[in-house]
Amino acid sequence: MFYDMFTCATPNYSTQNDSENTPVVVLEGESKKTFENLLSYIYPNTFILIDWDNIEEFLRFSEKYIVDSVLLSAKTFLEREFRKNPLYSLILADRYHFKSLYKESSKLVLDKFPEYKRKDIFSQLSLYSHTVLTKKYNAYTDSLAKLANVDFTSGYLHCDDCNKQSDHDLKINQEFIERS
């Protein structure tokens, strides 16, 4: 399972304890803590829970070294918890190609698009996702603007006994203005 991981790693013999000559494996570009967490997750000597603090490291490491069980567990965490952090979930879904998670988290991001767009983390979205979200939000606001120009009161009578439609149109228009 770890063949590819260890073929790139080189043994580094410690000079502190010559009697043991225990080889040390160095994984280029990886932190000891991330590797320890990954091994603890796979071989649970100590239980490591996937959470918002380590999800990105688990996803990156599991994709890099093709550890499908960890990738699946991280995806499951995101599918369960994406409502708590929709923008970050969308970024990770975009990066790791989780289609259903991408769709659901993008809906939540679009609900508060101006707020999320101002966050620094928004720049981590791919150019494609940034463009798609912006287009969808603009189409939504354009539709609202068109809807605001529709005259809902033309030809409306509030009761069958009314003869003076113009009086009612004036009254209804005033009511709409007061409610706005």
Q: What is the mean pLDDT of each run of 10 residues along the chain (180 residues)?
A: 55 54 75 79 76 95 90 96 98 97 97 96 96 95 82 59 65 75
Residues 79 and 9 in one domain: yes
Residue that is written with structure tokens 């009578």 in the block: 157
Residues 57 and 146 in one domain: yes
pLDDT of residue 5: 54
Residues 11 and 86 in one domain: yes
pLDDT of residue 127: 96
pLDDT of residue 105: 98
Parallel/antiparallel/unpaired status of strands 23-26 and 10-13 = antiparallel
Residues 125 and 178 in one domain: no
Residues 162 and 106 in one domain: no
pLDDT of residue 65: 87
pLDDT of residue 6: 55
pLDDT of residue 108: 97
- Domain of residue 129: give its range: 3-153
Residues 65 and 140 in one domain: yes
pLDDT of residue 11: 54
Residues 161 and 149 in one domain: no
Instruction: Using alpha carbons, list the distances in angstroms from residue 5 to 13, 27, 55.
Output: 18, 8, 20
Q: Which of 39, 37, 32, 68 has the alpha carbon at shortest distance from 55?
A: 37
Residues 148 and 180 in one domain: no
Residues 136 and 162 in one domain: no
Calculate the CA dihedral of residues 141, 142, 143, 144 and round it to 10 degrees. 50
Residues 38 and 113 in one domain: yes
Collapse the DSSP code of 22 into the 3-class scheme (helix H, G, I; strand E, B; otherwise coil) and give the result.
coil
pLDDT of residue 171: 74
* Burial (Cβ within 10 Å: 0-12, 13-18, ≥19) of residue 83: exposed
* Burial (Cβ within 10 Å: 0-12, 13-18, ≥19) of residue 119: exposed
Q: How many domains does the chain have?
A: 2
Q: Residue 122 and residue 99: Cα distance in Å, rounded?
A: 19
This prediction has a pTM of 0.64
Provide CB contacts within 8 A for 108, sequence distance 6+: 82, 83, 86
CA 84 to chain CA centroid, Å, is: 10
